[in-house]
Amino acid sequence: MKLQATTSQTVGPFFSIGMDWLVRENLAGAEVSGERVRVRGKVLDGDGRGVPDAILEVWQANAQGKYVHPEDTQEKPIEEGFRAFGRIPTKEDGSFEFTTIKPGSVPGPDGKEQAPHLVVSVFCRGLLRRLVTRMYFPGEAANDGDFALSLAPASRRETLVARKGGSASELEWNVVLQGTGETVFFDC
Amino acid sequence: MDREKSIGAPSRSNPGKIVGYRRAAPGTQPHYLHPPYVSSHKRSPREPLIFLPHTLSEITGPAFGKEMVDVKACDLTRQHKGEPLGERIIVSGRVTDEDARAVAHTLVEIWQANAAGRYLHKNDQHNAPLDPNFAGCGHTLTDAEGRYRFVTIRPGAYPWKNHANAWRPAHIHFSLFGPAFATRLVTQMYFPGDALLPLDPIFNCTADESARQRLISLFDWENTIPEEALGFRFDIVLSGRDETPWEKR
């Protein structure tokens, strides 16, 4: 190693002027195959208040479990037009909402499949570094054996799994930065 | 490196083998709770982070091609009818990984205050003028050698409410993706000789003095354009690979 990674700094309160051009709240257009889901939730601080100046970024595989990336060499089809990237700012009350498709399984350690999941970065004023978490899907049999879920203490694992919402395609998932119900964050 | 033990990038024959990215050296990245920075008090997790070995999900990540990028977005002084007020500057540098390898064709986004220290944002209530010719945001892709270049205006310092008589040193926000989800970085670039730097809790968020110094750009005579603009150089380093894939050595 010759160099050391640059120190992270907060996005601050005014990031929207630089980041809004790439907001993507609908990750998958109508032509993209897969089970469509709408995810709704809130980013909450240590007092349970909504965080109005947070932004989430989502990265995921397609419905076949393939990432659009040169290092995913699995023999699975890529879908043209699916960028698999979301950038979702919170609103005044800390709420957010995005639409995507449920990804397929991707390989994990020891060749074992991982349960379907999204990887998520959280940025806001007050965070000197991004937080990294994952969102899993409710009712998936594979959740039980998923390696990353298993790394989290059993009592906090549910923070990584979305809850079923009003209809079959609606999911609810909050990001709790601190305190009761604090979301599991990963050293990534 | 022991060739027998080196791990390759995932291949068809062995898709489970993953080369992860390095974790930060101690003291070089901020803790989430940094008491002098008041906004961190209620927004930092209390539970320890859980170490996540990198998988295909973390060593892949979004890429943004030329078709996404507005070529005019790298010149923040030419986005409006007139010229913005302030000191015109060239901010350029190289994006590499920790092994000094170029991070090519990666997206770099910037945003900043205008010369008077005011952001074009509805929540910025600082009593300083907006500039109708300056939005303060831009983006570009690095070239094949990892180089980027912006033309902009030197931002002003501005007050904030963190503590009594608190002022942020002049800075430009940088956002980078790099090759993978694991390499995502948001940081801030500062200017050499700024008297506010020793007083700023955000700049001083890391224990490692040399890590802080690398957030300060260098005056760049080579890229200074006579009669036109001063140059500042800001090189950015993203996490490197844990082990070099042997196929590429």
A160 interface with B at CB cutoff 8 Å: no
Q: Which residue in the set B40, B100, B215 is minimally distant from A7, CB to CB?
A: B215
B248 vs chain A: nearest CA distance in angstroms?
13
B166 vs chain A: nearest CA distance in angstroms?
15
HEC assignment per residue over A47-113: CCCECCCEEEEEECCCCCCCCCCCCCCCCCCCCCCCCCEEEEECCCCCEEEEEEECCCCCECHHHCE
What is the residue extent of each domain of chain A?
16-169
A166 vs chain B: nearest CA distance in angstroms?
29
**Any idea which residue has 């890590």 for tokens?**
B211
Give the span between the Cα atoms of B178 and B239, in whole angstroms.
9
Model-level pTM?
A: 0.95
A16, A22, A27, A28 alpha-carbon torsion, rounded to 10°: 150
CB contact under 8 A, B50 and A132: no
**Any idea which residue has 């092994």 for tokens?**
B99
Q: Which residues of B touch A108 (CB under 8 A)?
A: 16, 55-56
Closest to B97 measured CA to CA, from B228, B249, B236 = B236
- Can you name the CATH fold of A16-169? Protocatechuate 3,4-Dioxygenase, subunit A (2.60.130)
Residues 76-115 of B with CB under 8 A from A: 96-100, 109-111
Give the span between the Cα atoms of A138 and A171, in whole angstroms.
8
CB pairs A-B closer than 8 Å: 257
| pLDDT, tens digit (0-9, with 9 covering 90-100), for B161-198 | 999 999 999 999 999 999 999 999 999 999 999 999 99
| pLDDT, tens digit (0-9, with 9 covering 90-100), for B142-153 | 999 999 999 999
B33 interface with A at CB cutoff 8 Å: no
Q: Which residues of A touch B236 (CB under 8 A)?
A: 6
The domains located in chain B, with CATH, are 38-248 (2.60.130.10)
One-letter amino acid of B144 = A
Interval B219-223 mean pLDDT: 97
Write down the pLDDT at residue B244: 53
pLDDT-based confidence at B100, cuts 50/70/90? Answer: very high
Write down the pLDDT at residue B4: 32
Q: Which residues of B touch A186 (CB under 8 A)?
A: 49-52
Write down the pLDDT at residue A186: 98
Q: Which residues of A touch B125 (CB under 8 A)?
A: none
CB contact under 8 A, A67 and B109: no
Write down the pLDDT at residue B243: 75
Asked if residue A79 has pLDDT above 70, the reply is yes
CB count within 10 Å of CB A184 equals 22
| Largest distance between two CA atoms of chain A | 53
Q: Phi/psi of residue A156, each to 5°? A: -115, -5
Q: What tokens appear for B213 in the block?
A: 């110094």
User: Percent of chain A scored above 70 by pLDDT?
Assistant: 100
Q: Cα angle at A44 between A100 and B23, to 5 degrees? A: 75
CB contact under 8 A, B98 and A4: yes
Catalytic residues of B: 119, 158, 168, 171, 173
| pLDDT, tens digit (0-9, with 9 covering 90-100), for A126-182 | 999 999 999 999 999 999 999 999 999 999 999 999 999 999 899 999 999 999 999
A80 interface with B at CB cutoff 8 Å: no
**Any idea which residue has 């083998």 for tokens?**
B17
A128 vs chain B: nearest CA distance in angstroms?
6
Task: Provide the residue count of chain B.
Answer: 249
Residues 119-138 of A with CB under 8 A from B: 119, 121, 123-132, 134
A7 interface with B at CB cutoff 8 Å: yes
Q: Which residue in the set A9, A10, A130 is minimally distant from B184, CB to CB?
A: A130
